[in-house]
Amino acid sequence: MDFKYAKRNRRLDLWIIVTLLFTFSFGLNFIISRLDTQLDLSAGKKFSLSRESMALLNRMEQPVDIVITIPENSRMPKIMQRFMHDLELLLDAFERADTPYPIRVHRVDVYAPRKNKDILDKYKISKPNLLIAAAQKNGNRILFRYKEENGVNPYNSSQAFRSAESLARQAIWEAGFYSDWKEVKNGILEPGKFRGEETLLKSILELAIPSKNRKVIYFTRGHGEASPEDLDPRLGNSVLRGLIEDRNIGVSTLDLGTIERMPDDSIALIISGPKSFFQDKEIAMIRNFINQDKGCLLVALDPVEEIALTDRPAFGLRPLLKEWGLRCHDMLIYDPKRENFDLFSGSYFLRTYQRETPHPLVKNLMNEGFSILADRCRPVEIDPSLDSAFINHELIFSSRESWALSSWTERNIPPEKNPLLDLAGPVPVVSLSVPNPSKAAQTGLASAGKMIVLGSSSILSNEKLRSGAGNQALARNIIYWMDQNDGMLDVPPRILQSYSITMSDEQFDLVFYYFASIPAVVLFLGVFVSWLRKEL
């Protein structure tokens, strides 16, 4: 054998193998680049739309276009660069979503109109730095407007100087694409969570579903109730309003004393923390709404002084609640254990859920281990003495160590338990009632709706909905339950997380050099070893 040719053939085989590997890698990358598919392997599917969003998008009745006229460049403020990055990932997920009608994303340059003439003429768009959602039948709406400014004129004494970064941060804050803003060094506010999915979803549904088909949930007013317009952390329900509107349901207020019947578009009525009595006419209207019009009623009552409500307990709603098999005593739940209270806010933890087979409304909360935050609570229990035509469920309870105090305004603190008058724990705080299908025809309740009663209006307050994941999940499930969308109760809540890395240009270059040096060293060592073997 001629070893000279054998050595040459081995080298030829080696170069053929290298060429084949290079060709295979190049071809594989080319094929993958042509495939329009995406696989999200991240924890919690953070780069995909949630199951809740997909279920809502299935209600679309026409296509929607998302038009971006914001030119990307490296000179943008850092907060804008972060926003555009998060937005691109989200829009890609919307565009790939399997929906009845497509969601198309258009990135256009208004300064080069010939390239995107069709979409610009279709929606009459002529200005840059806009994020627009549009539908052919319902027009368009501006979701975000970025004013490309280099700060305020420093020589104008009538205005305080503000940088472009500050102005961009304000525009993003006002658009509502981020939440949980917290102050960091130098007094700068940084966003904690990106809530673009909820913001875009709300606009898409409003455009894709005609307004005439939109349902409305009404809040009562005129009795000192919490308002859906109120931004107050402890007394307002503006966060609850946002949760309702995010699911394409309208929100309005209603004074029952000034109308003869409920509006035709109403699906539910919310009574949140009243301070005065409901009149007989108002109660009769509520009764007709839930007994004959398939309406839903949510009542959230706080503990009050019994002396003021001797004649009309539960603000005059007790007879109506009793008809539906529920009792809401004017009592106060007392818990002697400090472990059941939050150390900083003083909020009370409601951790005990319905026993045996949990109701779908709280099943996910129980599986995820969520707690419900509340302030002072009163009991809401099933009336065992009534052979009701309704099916009742006690959903959420106080702790086993707690009990409900009767005549609580006259008791000493700490109180002593009265086994005859007090209600032993765990005490139900949230209960619901629905018509019994087997008795509906006999009792004339075939068109009856639903009722849910909360023993504390603070459960749905702005403060508790912002700080308690369990409160927000409960509110979301109640909205779906009232909207007759029970299938959504099986969708587990997703806790969104946001991660960001802030680096200067010098730090970025340093990281690049660190990562680039590793393959360079490996390459150098490979060449050196190859040369060394030849020498030996």
Mean per-residue pLDDT for 414-420? 88
Q: Are residues 263 and 385 in the same domain?
A: yes
Residues 6 or more apart in contact with residue 253 via CB below 8 angstroms: 218, 219, 220, 221, 227, 228, 229
Q: Take residue 28 and report the two structure tokens written for it.
A: 């594989």
pLDDT of the residue at 237:
95
Q: Which residue has the higher pLDDT, 162 or 55?
A: 55
Q: What percent of the chain has pLDDT over 70?
A: 82
Residues 6 or more apart in contact with residue 232 via CB below 8 angstroms: 462
User: Pseudo-torsion of CA 86, 87, 93, 94, nearest 10°?
Assistant: 160
Question: Domain with 321 in it: what CATH number?
Answer: 3.40.50
Q: Are residues 165 and 220 in the same domain?
A: no
Tens of pLDDT, residue by residue over 480-532, are 999 887 766 666 555 445 445 555 566 667 776 777 777 777 777 777 777 76
The number of C-alpha atoms within 13 Å of 116 and in the hemisphere containing its C-beta is 17
Does any domain span residue 226?
Answer: yes
* Residue 379 Ramachandran class (φ > 0 left, ψ -120 to 50 alpha, else beta): beta
Examine residue 414 and say whether the peptide bond preceding it is cis (omega within 30 degrees of 0). yes
Q: Are residues 164 and 299 in the same domain?
A: no
Q: Are residues 276 and 190 in the same domain?
A: no
Does any domain span residue 246?
Answer: yes
Decide if 370 contacts 396 (C-beta within 8 A).
no
Mean per-residue pLDDT for 399-419? 88
Q: Are residues 195 and 305 in the same domain?
A: no
Does any domain span residue 218?
Answer: yes
Q: Take residue 340 and report the two structure tokens written for it.
A: 């059941």
Does any domain span residue 440?
Answer: yes
* Residue 523 Ramachandran class (φ > 0 left, ψ -120 to 50 alpha, else beta): alpha
Identify the band that residue 47 occupies on the pLDDT scale cut at 50, 70 and 90. Answer: low
Residue 2 pLDDT > 70: no
Q: Are residues 79 and 132 in the same domain?
A: yes
Mean per-residue pLDDT for 227-238? 92
Mean per-residue pLDDT for 244-265? 90
Q: Are residues 86 and 124 in the same domain?
A: yes
pLDDT of the residue at 5:
58
Q: Are residues 271 and 318 in the same domain?
A: yes
Decide if 506 contacts 202 (C-beta within 8 A).
no
Please state, in angstroms and rounded to a whole number, the distance separating the CA atoms of residues 184 and 500. Answer: 14
Amino acid at residue number 343 = L
Q: Comparing 79-83, 129-133, 151-155, 462-466, which segment has the lowest mean pLDDT?
A: 151-155
pLDDT of the residue at 535:
57
b/e per residue, 300-338, with b = 16+ CB within 10 A? bbbbbebeeeeebbbbbbbebbbbbbbbbbbbbbbbeee
Q: Which residue has the higher pLDDT, 512 or 77?
A: 77
Q: What is the span of the domain harbouring residue 66?
A: 47-151+160-200
Q: Are residues 523 and 449 in the same domain?
A: no
Does any domain span residue 478?
Answer: yes
Identify the band that residue 42 occupies on the pLDDT scale cut at 50, 70 and 90. Answer: low
Tens of pLDDT, residue by residue over 56-73, are 888 888 999 999 998 877
Closest CA to 482 of 320, 274, 299: 299
Q: Are residues 277 and 183 in the same domain?
A: no
User: Highest-confidence range of 26-40, 458-472, 474-488, by mean pLDDT?
Assistant: 458-472
Report DSSP state, residue 100: S
Please state, in angstroms and rounded to a whole number, the distance separating the CA atoms of residues 216 and 238. Answer: 15
Mean per-residue pLDDT for 220-227? 94
The number of C-alpha atoms within 13 Å of 238 and in the hemisphere containing its C-beta is 9
Question: Concatenated DSSP letters for 142-193?
Answer: EEEE------S-TT-TTS----HHHHHHHHHHHHTSEE--EE-GGG-EE--E
Domain boundary among 172, 200, 228: 200
Q: Are residues 182 and 232 in the same domain?
A: no
Residue 328 pLDDT > 80: yes
Identify the band that residue 78 occupies on the pLDDT scale cut at 50, 70 and 90. Answer: confident
Please state, in angstroms and rounded to a whole number, the distance separating the CA atoms of residues 396 and 370. Answer: 12
Q: Comparing 125-139, 159-173, 392-406, 414-428, which segment has the lowest mean pLDDT?
A: 159-173
Q: Are residues 303 and 443 in the same domain?
A: yes
Identify the band that residue 133 occupies on the pLDDT scale cut at 50, 70 and 90. Answer: very high
Does any domain span residue 361?
Answer: no
Mean per-residue pLDDT for 353-360? 74
State how many domains the chain has: 3
pLDDT of the residue at 499:
47
Checking DSSP bridges between strand 178-179 and strand 139-145, what pairing results, if any?
unpaired
How much is the CA Rg of the chain, to the nearest whole Å?
31
Does any domain span residue 411?
Answer: no
Checking DSSP bridges between strand 103-107 and strand 64-68, what pairing results, if any?
parallel
